[in-house]
Amino acid sequence: MGPYGTGTGAGQGQGQGKIIIAGGMGPRAQELFNQNGVNVVIGANSASGSPEDIVRLFLAGNLETGDNACDH
């Protein structure tokens, strides 16, 4: 778990991370990721399962997202 919520850090430091899936993220962080070629998916919910389950759902095109959990 990261300092601001859930996350696995998959692909960090490996040059492979092009997508970040998060429950919530502030607009400045979203902008920084986008500027660096990282697509941001917001509104992932832990009710969908483990981080691995969420990635599987996303890759299968079945991840249901909700509201951005970040309030700033």
41-65 residue pLDDT tens: 999 998 889 999 999 999 999 999 9
The rounded distance, in Å, linking the Cα atoms of 12 and 22 is 14
Half-sphere exposure of 31 (CA within 13 A, CB side): 3
The rounded distance, in Å, linking the Cα atoms of 46 and 32 is 24
22-42 residue pLDDT tens: 999 999 999 999 999 999 999
Three-state secondary structure call for residue 15:
coil
